[in-house]
Structure 1
Amino acid sequence: MSLNSRDTILEMLVQAANKHDFSLNLTVNMKGSLVTGTLISAREYFEEMSEVFEGGNDLSRKISDKLLSASKQNVEQADEAAFIHLKDAKVYCGDSKPTPSGSEFLWRGRLDQADGFFLGKISEDE
Structure 2
Amino acid sequence: MSATENHLGLTDEPLALDWLLQSLVQMVNTSEISFPVTLQVSGLLVSGYLTSGRQYFEEFAQTMGTTVVEEDQDEVIALFRELGKSFYAPQTAGPAPNPHFLHIRHARVFSPDGQPFPLQEGSWWRGRLEAVDGFMLGSLTAQVGERLDVTED
TM-score of the two chains, using structure 1 as the length reference: 0.88
Q: How far did 1:10 drift?
A: 0.3
The higher relative CO (CA closer than 8 Å, separation ≥ 6) is in 1
Q: How far did 1:96 drift?
A: 4.2
| Deviation digits for residues 71-103 of structure 1 (CA, Å, limit 9, x no counterpart) | 211223752311110001100111142110022
Aligned equivalents of 2:121, 2:132: Cα separation in 1: 24
Query: Which residue does the alignment assign to 1:42?
Result: 53
Aligned equivalents of 2:27, 2:134: Cα separation in 1: 18
Aligned equivalents of 2:32, 2:130: Cα separation in 1: 21
Unmatched tracts of structure 2, length 5 or more: 1-11, 147-153
| Deviation digits for residues 26-50 of structure 1 (CA, Å, limit 9, x no counterpart) | 0000010000000000000000111
Query: Which residue does the alignment assign to 1:68?
Result: 81
Compute the RMSD of aligned alpha carbons: 1.9
Contact 2:36–2:137 (CA under 8 A) maintained in structure 1: yes
Contact 2:22–2:98 (CA under 8 A) maintained in structure 1: no
Matched, 1:11 2:22: yes
Contact 1:19–1:79 (CA under 8 A) maintained in structure 2: no
Larger % of helix: which? 1
Query: Which residue does the alignment assign to 2:132?
Result: 114
